[in-house]
Amino acid sequence: MHTHSFQAIPKSRAFRIEVCESLSRSPLFKDWSWDELDALSSYMAGYRASAGTLLFEEGEAGDAMGLLLSGQIEVRKTDAAHVAQFVTHIVAGRTFGEMAAIDGEKRSATCVATEPCVLALLPKTQFERILVVNEAMGIKLLLRLTRLLSERLRLVNGALVDFLSKDAA
């Protein structure tokens, strides 16, 4: 994480409410209670990033997942010719970097703020702490993340089949 290019947002009740409201609009947390969202928000840290800020880079160690509260992030992946290719945009209310919270492996893509952003980050250490301190919430979060990653993998598999079908034609 390139925290030197981030401005930390002091922990406050107002910021936690903002995180809870954003979490409640996220498909990942749509049926969580306010108390569950509030408990989760207590483990998250807030940051501001200006447009053009490199949030994380493909290949670097992953140490947190994030929730985009406002702004937009572009996801890029390096191709075989070492050229960064656009993958998708992440908009407010969406999560990113989930794999790092689970496995701590190197980042699979690069994320850049394309406009001023406000983010809430859940460091891997805090995710692991949730699993110990609040086991039920930790399991619920892990199950949601697993489903989300499974959905994304199915989409990629579908795109790969389409790509291979065109290649074979």
Q: What is the pLDDT of residues 89-102, one digit of tens each?
A: 999 989 898 887 78
What is the distance between the alpha carbons of residues 64 and 125, in angstroms, rounded to a whole number? 8
**φ and ψ at residue 73, rounded to 5 degrees:** -125, 140
> Tokens 């997942």 — which residue?
65
pLDDT in tens, 109-138: 999 999 999 999 999 999 999 999 999 999
pLDDT in tens, 2-50: 444 789 999 899 999 999 999 998 888 888 999 999 999 999 999 999 9
Structural domain tally of the chain?
1
CB count within 10 Å of CB 136 equals: 9
Tell whether the model's pLDDT for residue 161 goes beyond 80: no
Tell whether the model's pLDDT for residue 104 goes beyond 90: no
- Residue bearing the bigger pLDDT, 156 or 16: 16
What is the distance between the alpha carbons of residues 9 and 48, in angstroms, rounded to a whole number? 7
| Edge-to-edge strand list for the sheet holding 64-70 | 7-9, 45-49, 117-123, 64-70, 95-96
pLDDT band (50, 70, 90) for residue 69: very high
Residue 57: CATH number of its domain: 2.60.120.10
User: Which of 63, 73, 112 is CA-nearest to residue 93?
Assistant: 73
CB count within 10 Å of CB 148 equals: 14
Q: Residue 106 has what DSSP assignment?
A: B
Lowest mean pLDDT among 67-76, 95-104, 152-161: 152-161
CA 156 to chain centre: 18
Instruction: Look up the domain containing 56 and give its range.
Output: 3-168
pTM summary value: 0.84
